[in-house]
Structure 1
Amino acid sequence: MRNPLAVAVVQPVWAGPDVLANAERHAQAIEESEARLLVFPELSLTGYDLEAQPLAVDDSRLRPITEACRSTGAVALVGAPVRDPDGREYIATPAVTGEDTTPAYRKMHLHGPESDRFTPGAEPVVLTVDGWRLGLASATTPPFPSTPRTRQRSASTPMSPAPSTAPGPPLRPPRLPHA
């Protein structure tokens, strides 16, 4: 029998289009949580701004998140536009650990103006954390018929970053303990 996996769904107060300030708020949430896995909203580092500059996985502004994950042993699923080496851009869910950042999931089912800029992800992704196989998806993925079959074949537990519903600050304050 595997151990339970402590998961936190977090929506920090948005710091505007300042990626470093948003990364610092993500880091604070990671440090205040006792969760092993933290899931942040789609495009949480830039806000739902479809014109935001893409982030590279080695962007120095992500360092506060990496350091928080290193000090706590957490894995953080954050949201950002990313550009692959071939130039294609995605709405992505980078996975940040204490060692590195990788684009764990690329949103597959784009809608409205998202498809004017971004490329849809090619396939569902399974992320393994402490023996738990987690099927990653965006909030708009579940209605598509292929998703449950893919998760069944991969024997994964579904995980979905919360959508960002509008540009600008989040609609709800974070639910974190206060220092």
Structure 2
Amino acid sequence: MTAPGTLRVAAAQASSEAGDVAANVATARALVTTAADRGARVVVLPELFLTGYAASVWDHESGLDLEDPRLALLAEVAADRGVVVVTSAAVRRALDETTLSVVLVDATGEVSAPYDKQHLCGEERGFFTPGDHGATVVVDGWDLGLGICYDGCFPEHAAAAAAGGAMAYLCPSAYFTGAEHRRDLYYAARAIDNGIYVVFAGLAGRCGDRNFSGGSAVYDPEGRPLARAGDEDPAVVVADLDPAEVARVQGEVNPVALDRLDTQGKRVRVTL
């Protein structure tokens, strides 16, 4: 198989209005336009960006229908600029089921939700149904694994994506102010754990009654930030992903992804 070419990606952040899909779509459209102006082919936006990260608006009625006409402006900019948008929302799945999901808008403007957050965190557990499968989206020959925020805190989640062929791991996220240390460690670690790129988009500003810390970044396969924002609202960071760098790191520099054992075997306990 021929290796893909370089892929320019953007991680974008801004504040989200709790429950105001129309306002959030307008902000998303502006962020995508800025990223496209800088040559991005894939744009990652934060967790629950379209519907708001605020428990006060988490109910079944506020879950997004993927055919919601308010998404048209985002679909239009994706199609007009030829970009793939990876964002997130509360999505209505069934009469009594809402998921915390990746909302994918492809370069033709088609909207789908291929991945539901598997590792729900804190008060999310009282509102959302956890996902039951991983997901990868393929763009220009790049396998891009999907995760959402807390998923990226579990090494096995990104490892499963890498084992399935992913060369990058995309994580819409939302970190409360004060958690910056953990935020900056987790996603750099997922990159170096697997020798892949990680694209992290963090919610910024205030949503509901909480403040969020941003920190959107693109990490290289050795866990170094190629580009990273602070807590600015809004901000867009852009970087180029290179398949040769993934191959170099995995094959020569840090082959932990290739050397990882399927099992650690039984554990022997010695009491002295």
- Give the Cα separation in 2 of the matches to 1:96 and 1:61: 13
Give 2:200's aligned residue.
Answer: none
Pick the aligned partner of 2:122 from 112, 115, 125: 112
Deviations 1:98-151 (A, max 9, x none): 331100211000122111111100011111111100111112113335324412
1:122 aligns with 2:137: no
- Give the Cα separation in 1 of the matches to 2:233 and 2:15: 6
The ranges of structure 1 where at least 4 consecutive aligned residues each deviate by more than 4 angstroms after the TM superposition are none
- Give the Cα separation in 2 of the matches to 1:147 and 1:63: 32
Deviations 1:148-171 (A, max 9, x none): 441233110222112253734754
Q: Secondary structure at the match of 1:69?
A: helix
Inter-CA distance 108–37: structure 2 relative to 1 (3 Å threshold): same
Inter-CA distance 164–96: structure 2 relative to 1 (3 Å threshold): farther
Q: Secondary structure at the match of 1:121?
A: coil
- Give the Cα separation in 2 of the matches to 1:10 and 1:133: 20
Pick the aligned partner of 1:27 from 21, 29, 33: 29
Q: Greater CA radius of gyration, 1 or 2?
A: 2
Matched residues, number = 177
- Give the Cα separation in 1 of the matches to 2:160 and 2:79: 32
Inter-CA distance 132–86: structure 2 relative to 1 (3 Å threshold): farther
Q: Which has the higher strand share?
A: 2
Task: Quote the offset at 1:76 in angstroms.
Answer: 0.6
- Give the Cα separation in 2 of the matches to 1:147 and 1:79: 18
CA RMSD of aligned residues (A): 2.1
Code of the residue aligned with 1:99 in structure 2: it is G
Gaps of 5+ in 2: 177-205, 214-231, 238-272
1:56 aligns with 2:65: yes
Normalization by structure 1: what TM-score?
A: 0.88
Code of the residue aligned with 2:47 in structure 1: it is E
Whether the 8 Å contact between 1:48 and 1:164 is mirrored in structure 2 is: no
Whether the 8 Å contact between 1:92 and 1:106 is mirrored in structure 2 is: yes
Q: Secondary structure at the match of 1:33?
A: helix
Q: Which has the higher helix share?
A: 2
Give 1:39's aligned residue.
Answer: 44
Normalization by structure 2: what TM-score?
A: 0.60
Whether the 8 Å contact between 1:14 and 1:170 is mirrored in structure 2 is: no
Pick the aligned partner of 2:234 from 146, 153, 174: 174
Pick the aligned partner of 1:133 from 126, 139, 143: 143
Q: Secondary structure at the match of 1:6?
A: strand
Give 1:162's aligned residue.
Answer: 173
